[in-house]
Amino acid sequence: MAILSKKDSKLILDPLADNNPITIQVLGICSALAITAELKASIVMALSVLFVLGLGNVVISLMRNIIPSKIRIIVQLVVVATLVIIVDQVLKAFAYELSKTLAVFVGLIITNCIIMGRFEAFALGNGVWRSFLDGIGNAAGYGVILIIVGFFRELLGSGTLLGFPVLGNPIEKTGLYAIGYENNGFMLLSPMALIVVGILIWVQRSRNPALIEEN
Amino acid sequence: MLEHTELFFKSIFIDNMVFATFLGMCSYLAVSKKVSTAVGLGAAVIFVLAVTVPLNWLLDQYLLRDGALSWLGPEYADYNLSFLSFILFIATIATMVQLVEIVVEKFSPALYNSLGIFLPLIAVNCAILGGSLFMQAREIPSLGLAFNYGLSSGIGWFLAILAIAAIREKIRYSNVPPPLRGLGITFIITGLMAIGFMSFGGMLTGGDEAAPVPEETAVQEKTEEEKMNLEEDAEQNVVSYNAIEKE
């Protein structure tokens, strides 16, 4: 990346792996896991958060010198709520079915800890461009986990990806189903999202022992 | 009375905020290292939910939903302000949280210190906003039920954080594989607890079976209406036919 200095590209790349908002910082799990039963919903959710966090970080960073610190949480909430209302209305207008699937979870982006967490930790103390990069980076780190979880849950749970059957037809017994493969319907239930994320954390930390926590 | 009991147990066990909808996971994971802190935060969540859900119910009923403004006069009956609900709900919640913070700081400084940063962050706890949004989505019919819903969801959340805190206190003495220590094992335990809570799902199926009855009557009424319409149409046809014949 020639446009970005080394420091700036670190802002984007760090949250993708070693400082991932979900698996390391423990932020933004709330609204993430319930909608990962389908890959499509996960992607839309990731994009919505990318939009809200990228723009929100810019707005907060622009206002960082005029926000009185006592009421900053309310100011931040108003900024996020406005952006989320925009996302919600756009989804309702252009992807009505999907907005029904996501239901209240679009609204819950407001209280997604990752957004408040980045506002507090970064945008309030840094310039506009760096805040924008930080927002994009963290939202991408969040999105990556969402998409990985959504990928495995949809693939193993219903044998499809983005709604297309990739493992064959379970009723006509073609593809993998011909040799006796069955969908694991359990993957579609909410507890499995937690366990899949738990396993992701396990994999990530075994690859990078520096991240291991003390008991 | 029956619907109150049903909603109460349903919100605690079947639609448990943590295990069924993953609401409030951030503070659930971050504050569950010690039972005493977990109890404090859980109590604060119960209180804030029990206050904000009925308040937001009133807002939704008399300000936001389609035609809610009709009490102002017939010319306001067409307004639908529901796109504003996110921002109004979060404003109510932020105000209430500020209030709780002041009260806790005044009466229990020890609790205030141990909750630390998480008290102001209750405002951004998904469980609180989620309670209000689910209340709106499920169209809870009365103020009493809304209060009940807030209270029982709060109790469900309290139970969940209490259980995980107790388990995490004990798990310190067991030999967890190093990469799973801390966050990883907590996720997996929560997943297992959620599977356990799913077994409550069959508890209230009796209510669900009784539910479709009004739909059937509605369908019958419709068919009766259609019959009437058909008869009317037939009569009109006959009349027009007669008129044509006369000509």
Per-residue model confidence as pLDDT tens digits over B6-34: 888 888 888 888 888 888 887 888 778 88
Percentage helix, strand, coil, to 5, in chain A?
70, 0, 30
Q: Please name the residues between 23 and 42 in chain B that touch chain A, using a CB distance below 8 Å.
A: 23-26, 29-30
Q: Is the ipTM, as predicted for this complex, more than 0.85?
A: no
Lowest mean pLDDT among A107-116, B58-67, B233-242: B233-242
Contacts of A116 in chain B (CB under 8 A): 121, 124
Q: Which amino acid, one-letter code, is at A117? A: G
Q: Using only C-alpha atoms, what is the Rg of chain B?
A: 26
| pLDDT reported for residue A207 | 83
Say if the Cβ atoms of A82 and B125 lie within 8 Å.
no
Angle at B54 between CA B50 and CA B57, to 5 degrees: 145
| pLDDT reported for residue B115 | 62
Q: Please name the residues between 115 and 134 in chain B that touch chain A, using a CB distance below 8 Å.
A: 120-121, 123-130, 133-134
- The tally of CA atoms less than 13 A away on the side-chain side of residue B209 is 5
Say if the Cβ atoms of B26 and A30 lie within 8 Å.
yes
Q: Is A138 on the interface with B (CB under 8 A)?
A: no
Q: Is B43 on the interface with A (CB under 8 A)?
A: no
Please report which confidence band the pLDDT of residue B117 belongs to, taking 50, 70 and 90 as the band edges.
low
Contacts of B178 in chain A (CB under 8 A): 205, 209, 212
Q: What is the pLDDT of residues B135-162, one digit of tens each?
A: 888 888 888 899 999 999 999 999 999 9
Task: Give A195 to chain B, closest Cα distance, Å.
Answer: 5
Contacts of A192 in chain B (CB under 8 A): 191
Q: Please name the residues between 172 and 201 in chain A that touch chain B, using a CB distance below 8 Å.
A: 189-195, 197-199, 201
| pLDDT reported for residue B148 | 92
| pLDDT reported for residue B219 | 43
pLDDT over 50 (residue B218): no
Which regions of chain A does DSSP assign to beta strands (E)? 160-161, 164-165
| pLDDT reported for residue B232 | 54
Place of tokens 């307004």: B79
